[in-house]
Structure 1
Amino acid sequence: MRRTRNLIFLKDVAGLACTAFGGPQAHLAMMFRLLVHKRRYLTAAELLELQALCALLPGPTSTQTMTAIGFRLGGPNLAYLTLFVWCLPAVLIMTLAGLLLTHFDAALTGRLVQFVQPVAVGFVAFSAYRIAEKVIQTKTSVALMVASAMVAYFFQLPGVLPLLLLAGGAVTTLRYRKHAIVPDKKPIRVEWANGALWLGIFLLAAVLGHYTQLRPVRLFENFYRNGSLVFGGGQVLAPLLFAEFVEYKHYLTGPEFLSGLGLVQALPGPNFSFASYIGALAMRPLGGVGPQLLGAAVGAIGIFLPGTFLIFFIIRFWDGLRQYRVVKASLEGVNAVSAGLVCAAALLLYHPLPDRLLALPGSLAHWHLPLNPLLVGLTFLVLLWERIPSVVMVGVALLAGVLVP
């Protein structure tokens, strides 16, 4: 029975990996719909807790969240399989893009995803609605949700997200006496293996990267270091990789970097898969497909591995930690801030969408309706109807991008 459930879960993860467009907040929206609302692998509050916990750590938030869910359901083995299945489609496509760079047309890519982008915003807006419905239950939560949404919207800085989560938790911690005392608390057992492994590889890679000229080793050190230190997701990672691999090391040209960045934004799955594209192009001087494939693999492993070690380290004692009233009280504020961040994400993702007008037929031809708000609203209503799977909606949006000039 458990094995069957794990296989179904991995199938669901594969479906999300092929349809979850729009970055971490859109990923959260689709996780919420499929894993919480439809499959009930975990509750809305549990998903928000895991997402907030991962947001406080460096690394790819949505990847760490998905890995943590796999760990909760089936332990380390299922977690590693979850990580592999979640990352594989985007990594393969970005590796292929690195091998066949000259065959990719940026204009064609933009046309293909022109309708996927507003659909992704609709997913995020629906996620904000569902999350608020589930976790906002007090005036304090409402205030924290609104305040965090406003701060995240007006101050788009890497450190804002973890600071907001910590501040929200601190506010509701003051009300810890309203929570019941958990009798017979289990002692917290911290297993240091994964934390020590993360730090050991970090130091070893730094030493080897300094003393060797082997490009695969240096690439691994570059990506492992960035994956260990970057907060805020792919949006923060991109300028760091540009500075290192384009401006400093000249492994890529500026247009090559921007072409890959545009492509990864158009793909489902984790944006950190961009590292496999850079790794493939960085190995071009060695000649042949083999070194480029090695570079792509090194890039993907280096960028995803540190975040995996960190979430494996934290998740093992998180359940013990959340037994305490102070921690439990803080989760109310963390969940409220998380809801606010999703609200802000819906607005922030909408703004970059280009203006498109829809001409009405017949005698109303002189009227033009804004297309993107219609698509966002239609997506929200279809999700509320709960009859059409997310993969079908994304597939229709992609097909429309092919057919509509």
Structure 2
Amino acid sequence: MTKDMSPQEEKTEEYDKKDNAAVEDVELAETEDGSGDKQEESDDKRIRMKVAADAPWRDRMWEVFTTFWPLGFIAFGGPQAHVAILRDHLVIQRDWLDEEQFTELFAIGQGLPGPTSTQLVISTALSRAGPLGGLMALLLWNLPGLVVLTLCGVLIDAYIDPNNPPWYLIGLPPAAISLVFKAFYGFAVKLDTLGIILALFSSCVAILINNDDDIKASSSQWVFPTCLALGGLITWIDSKREKPFSDYGSPSKGWDRDTDETFKRIGIPLWAGALIFVVYIGVLVMAIVLADVAKVENEYLEIFEIMYRIGSIIFGGGQVVLPMLQDEVVPAWMTNSQFLQGLGIAQSMPGPLFNFSAYLGAVYQGVPGALVAFVGLFGPGVILIFAFCPFWARLRHNQDFKAILKGLNSTAIGLVGAACIILWESAISGSADAIVFSIAFTLAVVFNVQAPLCILVGGIVGALMHPDALDLGQRAYCVDSGFVVPPPENEL
């Protein structure tokens, strides 16, 4: 008996008569969900994805270029906004992926150190056009911010007095700090009780290291990774309890054929993924040995080792990196004022906050320093996303991995909270600074104004209140009470 062809099968035949796999997918969808407009739309999308995936490799590479070239100029707003932009362009408009595949790739970035949005860019381009597509997307996504921040770093180092910033830069630091507070608030409200405890612990540790004269600044090299590891260990132990404090979710859906075909286009076999991971470990060990054990004196090695080491332990996005970077580069590479000026500029740029590394390297060692710092900070996340994609099909089902990841992320959020306090102490010195902070924070949180406009408004308000303009709010924010701490007896 001949089975009548359904409307979905007719559309399948119209798009690609030879594509039996697409027909089977439509029939399976009908069996599970029934017919209707919503199901028909889903089937259409599945077929369009299949047809687009069969395009020649050159066409797919060109599509990667035309997609990510403009996105590099409009990706404002931080990781959350970046994910929304990518979903709109790649899932809804271009049919590169479906929702489940996009969510899986986003989860990979969350589970690895490095800039989450950049890793999502790489993994989606990988699934579209293979390794070369991933590298092209990485370059296009970061190029505008990299160029502008490198140029700003060189110019600020050459023409601006680090101890006496000009009036047009005076409002940038407090405006930039307000966006860090906004990011912390967005992260913290999603934490459960155990997550809040872990975040509070890591925040207190980071603040203690930054402000205690009895603790060496270099201790952050092992204290921060230890905090992250403890967070992962605690949530893993909690997940084994009969009644855990946190909810660790359920295993992901099975690795269906569509997703398997997507990852085949990545073009990285398991053995190559393992080899890439070995390369990552080898570079990390070699950099640490040369810089910290052998004490090789070379400015570019110093830049690379610091950035690569920090990039290897950053979970949770760019804001987490701020206290670690400040601890390493101030005052060794630059003044705190220069650091905060660059942060303000970086917050107003499209792309990930990790581009801030180019500014730091440029202030310290010019354009070569910017490139070394950029490669160093981005390197771990980029290498690991290439290495990890082939293994994700196996680890996505692992509840232990999910539990450890939750602890890592909660602890990393605490570092963002510490950055709020540390940077506030550095940037808010007078009433004018506090006013700029309040205005920028209100614009960002209450009115949801984009970061570049918040920075611009903060810069204008700060410039107007400068002594060379209206001369308002210049009284010290913390008034000296006149009390002097007596020196220890052995110094009398």
RMSD: 4.2
2:125 paired with 1:74: yes
1:46 and 1:303 map into 2 onto residues whose CA distance is 26
Q: Which residue of 2 aligns with 1:326?
A: 400
Given the two structures, how large is their TM-score scaled by the length of structure 2? 0.54
Q: Point out the structure with max Rg over C-alpha.
A: 2
Structure 1 match to 2:414 = 340
2:452 aligns with: 391
**1:114 matches 2:184:** no
- % same residue: 16
Of 181, 188, 200, which aligns to 1:146? 200
C-alpha contact 1:49 1:334 (8 A) present in aligned 2: no
Equivalent of 1:10, from 72, 89, 102? 72
Structure 1 length as normaliser, TM-score?
Answer: 0.64
**Does the Cα contact within 8 Å between 2:439 and 2:458 map onto a contact in 1?**
no
Task: Pick one of 129, 134, 146 that aligns with 1:87.
Answer: 146
Residues 236 and 404, structure 2, Cα contact 8 Å, conserved in 1? yes
| Residue in structure 2 matched with residue 301 of structure 1 by the alignment | 371
1:183-194 counterparts in 2 under 5 A?
Answer: 189=270, 191-192=273-274, 194=276
Greater RCO between the two (CA within 8 Å, min separation 6)? 1
The match for 2:39 is none
Task: Name the CA shift for 1:185/1:325 in 2 (closer, same or farther; >3 Å).
Answer: farther
2:81 to 31, 34, 38: 34
User: Which of 304-313 and 120-129 deviates more?
Assistant: 304-313
- Aligned residues of 1:152 and 1:344 also touching (Cα < 8 A): yes
Counterpart of 2:224, as a letter, is: L
| Letter in structure 1 aligned against 2:362 | S
Output the CA distance in 2 between the equivalents of 1:39 and 1:115: 32
Aligned to 1:275: 361
Distance 2:285 2:230 in 1: 32
Cα distance change of structure 1 residues 235 and 171 upon mapping to structure 2, 3 Å threshold: same
In 1: Cα distance, 2:167 partner to 2:106 partner: 34
Q: Find the aligned partners of 1:94 and 1:393 in 2 and give their Cα distance.
A: 21
Three-state SS of the structure 2 residue aligned to 1:399 is helix
CA shift digits 1:58-88 (9 cap, x unpaired): xxx6xx4453232134232211322333322
* 8 Å contact from structure 1 (residues 264, 271) kept in 2: no
Q: Which amino acid aligns with 1:9?
A: L
Query: Residue deviations 1:206-231, cap 9 Å, x none?
Result: 9xx9xxxxxxxx76555444444457
Describe the shift of the 1:96–1:47 C-alpha distance in structure 2 as closer, same or farther (beyond 3 A). Answer: farther
Q: 1:378 to 1:166 in 2, by over 3 A?
A: same
Cα distance 1:5–1:181, how it changes in 2: closer, same or farther (>3 A)?
same
Aligned residues, how many? 325
Match of 1:402 in 2: 463
Where structure 1 has 5 or more consecutive residues not aligned to the other structure, the ranges are 17-29, 55-60, 210-217, 243-256, 281-295, 358-370
Contact 1:114 1:401 in 2 (8 A): yes
In structure 2, list runs of 5 or more residues that go unmatched.
Answer: 1-51, 53-62, 89-98, 127-133, 211-218, 241-247, 261-268, 292-297, 314-320, 347-354, 467-492
Q: Which amino acid in structure 1 is aligned with residue 225 of structure 2?
A: P
